Amino acid sequence: MKKSVLYGLLLPGLLFLGIFMVIPIVLTIGSTFYHDGTLTLSGYTHFFGDSYFNQILLTTVVVSLITTLLCLALGFPTAYYISRKTARSKGILLAIAIFPLLTSPIVRSFSWMIILGRKGLINDAIVGLGLSDKPLDILYTPTAIVIGLTHLFLPIMIISLVGVLENIDTDLVIAAQSLGASRMSAFVRIVFPLALPGIVIGAVLVFVGSLTAYTTPALLGGKQRVISTFLYQNAMTLNDWFLASVIAVIMIAITFIVVGLMNRAARQLNPKG
């Protein structure tokens, strides 16, 4: 393909993204180093020196980590089960797993508001069984955010894992067992290492997704702030754009660092390179 044709095909899209995505982001990053007329790192020193901000960051990271672990714990056995099915039932089960993924996050968060509320299913059950004499506060706590995010991202984990698990030859496991390996050791020494690239990718997608999700913590978290709702609050309610920009840059940095590490790990884990 001639150079001129190649440029002609790529340029419109590149210009569009350049003007409307790259430049605004670069300018936003730049703006965080410039405050009150001088070049400064004060935005960041202020952010990381403030205990309230650190608390929000910590809550976000903890919530995301727990969500990732829950998705792995729930997703791995399910993905393993799906991967051992025939092509037809695998397709149906995957479709069922994908459907919630395409459903609006508002719809999904709203369903948890119904379930976790003070008059919701869970509290009805808890009071009904006599486990507590008054309804528990679940909604508008970090627990509610974890439940909502796990529901939101579990399909992504399942899909990432089915992708690697279905390529593992069952004969390997059977061979290991016939040579005397226990079920557990066959799993730990054969299935797990082969599935590791999928586990890494799934975990990173869920972790980064949880770290940056907005709708679920906005609806289920109440006054409990996470970093994304904190960004929105500063940008739109408090109109503190300097702080909002600092938060935005921190979120971009975390995302790129985690994804970059994932790409390196995935390359090393994948023998085919």
Partner 1 sequence: MREKHFGLGLFSLLVFVFLLGPLLIIFATSFEPGIVLQFPPDGFSFRWYEQIFKVEGFLRTFKTSIAISLLGNVFALLFGIPAAYALSRSSFRGKELINGLFLSPILIPGIVLGFTLMKYLIVVYHLPMYAGLLIGHTVIMLPFIVRVVASSLSTFDFAIEEAALSLGAGRMSAFFKVVLPNIRSGIIASMLIAFLESFNNIDISVYMTGPGVSTLPIEMLTYVENHFDPTIAAISVLLMVLTGVLMLVIERLMGLSQFTRR
**HSE on the CB side for 61, CA within 13 Å?**
11
- The answer to whether 94 contacts partner 1 (rule: CB under 8 A) is yes
- The answer to whether 33 contacts partner 1 (rule: CB under 8 A) is no
Do 113 and 196 form a contact (C-beta atoms < 8 A)?
no
Supply the minimum distance, in Å, between the C-beta of residue 49 and partner 1.
Answer: 22
- The answer to whether 16 contacts partner 1 (rule: CB under 8 A) is yes
The correct pick among 33, 44, 81, 242 for binding partner 1 (CB under 8 A) is: 81
Q: DSSP secondary structure string, the chain?
A: --HHHHHHHHHHHHHHHIIIIIHHHHHHHHHTTEETTEE-SHHHHHHHH-HHHHHHHHHHHHHHHHHHHHHHHHHHHHHHHHHTS-HHHHHHHHHHHHHHHHS-HHHHHHHHHHHHSTTSHHHHHHHHTTS-SS----TTSHHHHHHHHHHHHHHHHHHHHHHHHTTS-HHHHHHHHHTT--HHHHIIIIIHHHHHHHHHHHHHHHHHHHHH--HHHHHHSTT---HHHHHHIIIIIS--HHHHHHHHHHHHHHHHHHHHHHHHHHHHH-TT-
- The answer to whether 259 contacts partner 1 (rule: CB under 8 A) is yes
Token code pair at residue 149: 């995010």
- The answer to whether 102 contacts partner 1 (rule: CB under 8 A) is yes
Instruction: Determine the interface stretch with partner 1 among 47-55, 112-120, 125-133, 137-145 (rule: CB under 8 A).
Output: 112-120
The correct pick among 143, 255, 265, 269 for binding partner 1 (CB under 8 A) is: 255
Instruction: Determine the interface stretch with partner 1 among 42-50, 55-63, 129-137, 157-165 (rule: CB under 8 A).
Output: 157-165
**Contact letters for partner 1, residues 165-194 (x by CB under 8 A):** ------------------x-----------
Supply the minimum distance, in Å, between the C-beta of residue 138 and partner 1.
Answer: 14
The correct pick among 56, 63, 72, 82 for binding partner 1 (CB under 8 A) is: 82
Is the Cβ of residue 101 or residue 136 nearer to partner 1 in the bound state? 101
Instruction: Determine the interface stretch with partner 1 among 49-57, 60-68, 98-106, 135-143 (rule: CB under 8 A).
Output: 98-106
Supply the minimum distance, in Å, between the C-beta of residue 60 and partner 1.
Answer: 12
3-state helix/strand/coil string of 9-56:
HHHHHHHHHHHHHHHHHHHHHHHCCEECCEECCHHHHHHHHCHHHHHH
Task: Pick out residues in 229-248 that bind partner 1 (CB under 8 A).
Answer: 231-232, 235-236, 241, 244-245, 248
The correct pick among 252, 265, 266, 269 for binding partner 1 (CB under 8 A) is: 252
Supply the minimum distance, in Å, between the C-beta of residue 231 and partner 1.
Answer: 6
**Contact letters for partner 1, residues 189-218 (x by CB under 8 A):** ----------------x-----xx-xx--x
